[in-house]
Chains A and B, each alone.
Chain A
Amino acid sequence: MSLMMESPLASCHRTLKARMIPFAGWNLPVEYSGLISEHKATRQAAGLFDISHMGQIRAHGKGALPALETLLANDPAKLRDGEGQYTFLLNDQGGVIDDLFLYRLAYDDFLLVVNASRHAEDLHMLTNSPKQDVSFRGSPGSSAGMALQGPKSVAILSALWKADPTHPVPPKRNHIAKCRIASQEALIAATGYTGEDGFEIFTDLSAGPVIWNALLEAGKTDGLLPCGLGSRDSLRLEAGFPLNGQDLSPEITPMEAGLGFFVDLNRPRSFPGRLVLEAQKKNGAPRTCVGLKGQPGQPPPRHDYPVFQGDKKIGVITSGVPSPTLGHGIALALITTPIPPCGQDLEFEVRGRRVPVKVSPRRFIPKK
């Protein structure tokens, strides 16, 4: 039996009386004040999430770019200093080992932010790939991270920086910058997993709790709430973002997941799964991820429920939740092609009965 990893923010969670659950080998907060209130705070004001379980891997050396170019599905050469991109680590069948964010800090310095459940496997793949002049560092539990998300995020960060004589400015969307927050060194990226404006802050173990507490204090008057994994999941699903292990897996390609935009096939370099993805781009993928929208008062869709068109089973729900913003069920489902058009009536099955849903765009809330 392996021991549960404790977040560097564990003492903060204890003080806040968070309800803790095991997640991908970590003991993490699932909720503090309540999932729905945390969800709504993030949509209307701001939420603060512990993301210390997300792996932070640094690629150093002049061989970093060529090594990443041969491993990742999006093109890292497109990044300039301070820019980030969503990308994939794929297997030879084009299936998703991990979906991650890659940031270029300098030509020889990259940060990869990866899923907790895949961290060790990613690190193993990176360090064992044929490469020169590059080192990959950052094992599970070696860093702290948190996400400040919601429309008040900029105001909260600015409030913290008001007294700072260097007048830092927050990075632009999908950008990353080295900053000091609450007198601590950190990397701050304008990215997130909620569909709201916001920031992800990456720092070392001892700085984590200092920044966490300073942000909570600075955001108090704006309605900032600490938020757990529960609202993190309902927020990401409303925004149509995939969860690795459910909507993405080694058996699902980015094309099938509807994320082909983040795969670059216009460059000469080979990367794992490229041939499969080229064929799927040309001929279409055998399955495609669609959004499904339920109705109020119906049982909510959940992971693994089968999806039917008439009598024919055409797919399976990969993620589903009763949407706190919309008041009805929403889901992502992997459907066998041909894909029914938006608005098409389908059903899912739960406890032996059929529940009506409509095909919908995967993003369930308006884009910011």
Chain B
Amino acid sequence: MNTPNDLLYAKTHEWLRLEKDSATVGITDHAQRELSDVVYVEIPKPGRKVTAGEVVATVESVKAASDIYAPVGGEITEANTALSSDPGLVNREPYGQGWLFRLKPDQPKPAGLLSPSDYGATLPH
């Protein structure tokens, strides 16, 4: 399973990439494999304020709709609009073009997230 070293992870299988005062959020390789073929993604509108652990997005595969939680609190600044025409990006590039949204975190240092190795240890081998 692919778990890049430069990201932080939530137990609920979201990843967070911190860049200055912005953070990009997506779902992990493990999560996209579990969901399999993603056919629809509902992403939050920019300007929405969210708290850590809040349901902010929904990723739908043929089988089911899955809630996506905000890994940290903050204000949504950008949604990945490319997903509306090509939701399969979530499967093909979960850490790249398949990102879900960006937010401006409330706290400069996010709390309660896992390191790559700690997240990797939660996954079935």
**Residue A291 interfacial (CB < 8 Å):** no
**Residue A78 interfacial (CB < 8 Å):** no
B residues near A34, Cβ cutoff 8 Å:
36-37
Q: Type the 1/0 row for A9-53, where 1 means its CB is closer than 8 Å to any CB of B.
A: 000000000000000000000110011100100000000000000
A75 CB, nearest partner CB in chain B, Å: 38
B62, B65, B84: the one within 8 Å of A297 (CB): B84
**Residue A302 interfacial (CB < 8 Å):** yes
A residues near B85, Cβ cutoff 8 Å:
297
Main secondary structure of the interface of A (DSSP, over half): mixed
Whether B84 lies near A322 (C-beta < 8 A) is no
Task: Tell me how many residues of B have a C-beta within 8 Å of chain A.
Answer: 14
**Residue A258 interfacial (CB < 8 Å):** no
B residues near A39, Cβ cutoff 8 Å:
62
Whether A322 lies near B62 (C-beta < 8 A) is yes
**Residue B63 interfacial (CB < 8 Å):** yes
B36, B42, B60, B64: the one within 8 Å of A31 (CB): B36
Q: Type the 1/0 row for B15-44, where 1 means its CB is closer than 8 Å to any CB of A.
A: 000000000000000000000110110100
Whether A299 lies near B40 (C-beta < 8 A) is yes
B36, B58, B65, B84: the one within 8 Å of A35 (CB): B36
Q: Type the 1/0 row for A327-368, where 1 means its CB is closer than 8 Å to any CB of B.
A: 000000000000000000000001100000000000000000
Contact A230-B63, Cβ < 8 Å, known A34-B36, A35-B36, A299-B40: yes
**Residue A272 interfacial (CB < 8 Å):** no
Whether B39 lies near A322 (C-beta < 8 A) is yes
Task: Tell me how many residues of A have a C-beta within 8 Å of chain B.
Answer: 18
Q: Type the 1/0 row for B53-67, where 1 means its CB is closer than 8 Å to any CB of A.
A: 000001011111100
Question: Max chain A CB contacts within 10 Å: which of B39, B42, B64, B84?
Answer: B39
CB contacts under 8 Å to B, within A216-238, are 230, 234
Whether B42 lies near A230 (C-beta < 8 A) is no
A262 CB, nearest partner CB in chain B, Å: 28
Whether B37 lies near A35 (C-beta < 8 A) is yes
B71 CB, nearest partner CB in chain A, Å: 20
Whether B60 lies near A299 (C-beta < 8 A) is yes
A residues near B42, Cβ cutoff 8 Å:
299, 351
Known: A300-B39, A321-B62. 5 other contacts (CB 8 A): A297-B40, A299-B60, A322-B60, A324-B62, A351-B58
Interface residues of A, Cβ cutoff 8 Å to B = 30-31, 34-36, 39, 230, 234, 297-300, 302, 321-322, 324, 350-351
